[in-house]
Amino acid sequence: EKLQDMEKWMNDAQSSKTSYENQLEQFNTNNKSVIDRYNSLEDAVNDAETEWVKAKYTYESDADIADLRDAYNEAKDVADSYYENTAGTVLTRQKDLENKAAQYTAEYNNYTTAYNNFKETFSDRYQSGDSKLSSNTLSDKVSELEATVKTDQFNLQKAQKTAEISSVDAKTKEKTDLSEAENAQDTYDLTVTQLYQAVDTQQETYDTLQTELDNINSAMNGSGVLVSPCDGVVATVSSSDGASVKADTEMMAVSETGSVSLAVSVSEDDITNVSIGQEASVTLSSYDDETFDALVESITAEPARSGSSSVSYTVTVRLTAANTGTEKIYTGMSGEATLIQKREKDALSIPNRAVSFQNGVSTVLVKTSSGGQEKRTIVTGFSNGTNVAVTSGLQEGDTVLAESGVTAR
Domain holding 325: CATH number?
Answer: 2.40.30.170
DSSP reduced 3-state for 298: strand
pLDDT digits (tens, 9 = 90+) for 280-330: 989 988 888 888 889 999 999 888 776 657 789 999 999 887 777 677 777
Whether 93 and 160 share a structural domain: yes
Q: Does residue 321 lie within any of the structural domains?
A: yes
Flag whether 363 is in a domain.
yes
The yes-or-no verdict on residue 205 having pLDDT over 80 is: yes
Q: Among 339, 363, 385, identify where a domain stops.
A: 339
The kind and range of the H/E element at 209 are: helix 135-221
Looking at every residue in the chain, the average pLDDT score rounds to 80
- Same domain (yes/no): 169, 301: no
Alpha-carbon dihedral sign for residues 195, 196, 199, 201: negative
Taking the CA of residue 326 as centre, how many other CA atoms within 13 Å lie in the half-sphere pointing to its CB?
21
pLDDT 10s digits, 346-378:
778 899 999 998 888 999 999 998 889 999 999
Residue where a domain terminates, one of 339, 362, 383: 339
315 part of a folded domain = yes
Number of domains observed in the structure of the chain: 3
The number of angstroms, rounded, from the C-alpha of 377 to the middle of its chain's C-alpha atoms is: 67
Asked whether residue 333 falls in the same domain as residue 359, the answer is: no
Same domain for 325 and 374: no
The pLDDT value given to residue 377:
93
Query: Do 330 and 363 share a domain, yes or no?
Result: no
Q: Is residue 247 part of a domain?
A: no
Query: CB atoms < 10 A from the CB of 85, how many?
Result: 9
Q: Residues 276, 383: one domain?
A: no
The torsion angle over the Cα atoms of residues 225, 228, 231 and 232, rounded to 10 degrees, is -90
Last residue of a domain, one of 171, 198, 225: 198
Residues 48 and 159 both lie in one domain: yes
40-65 pLDDT tens trace:
999 999 998 888 888 877 766 778 88
Tens digits of residue pLDDT in 83-123: 989 888 889 988 888 888 888 888 888 878 877 777 766 65
Same domain, 353 and 333: no
Distances (CA, A) of 191 to 57, 184, 194, 254: 18, 10, 5, 49
Weakest-pLDDT range from 20-34, 123-137, 334-348? 123-137
303 C-beta neighbours (distance < 10 Å), count: 13
What pLDDT is stored for residue 116 in this prediction?
77
| Domain hosting residue 354, numbered range | 348-401
DSSP 382: E
In a domain, 209, yes or no: no
List, for residues 121-172, the tens digit of each pLDDT value.
665 555 544 444 444 555 566 566 666 666 766 666 666 666 566 556 656 6
Looking at the structure, tell me whether residues 177 and 55 fall in a common domain: yes
Average pLDDT over residues 208-219: 79
Contacts 24+ apart (CB under 8 A), 247-251: 251/226
* 57, part of any domain: yes
Do 59 and 6 belong together in one domain? yes
Residue 233 has pLDDT above 80, yes or no: no
Q: Residue 218: inside a domain, yes or no?
A: no
Q: Given phi > 0 = left and psi -120 to 50 = alpha, else beta, which region is 293?
A: beta
Residue 329 lies in a domain: yes
Q: Is the pLDDT of residue 178 over 70?
A: no
Is the domain of 280 the same as that of 379? no
Number of C-alpha atoms within 13 angstroms, CB side, residue 311?
9
3-state secondary structure of 49: helix
Q: Do 275 and 371 share a structural domain?
A: no
pLDDT computed for residue 156 by the predictor = 67
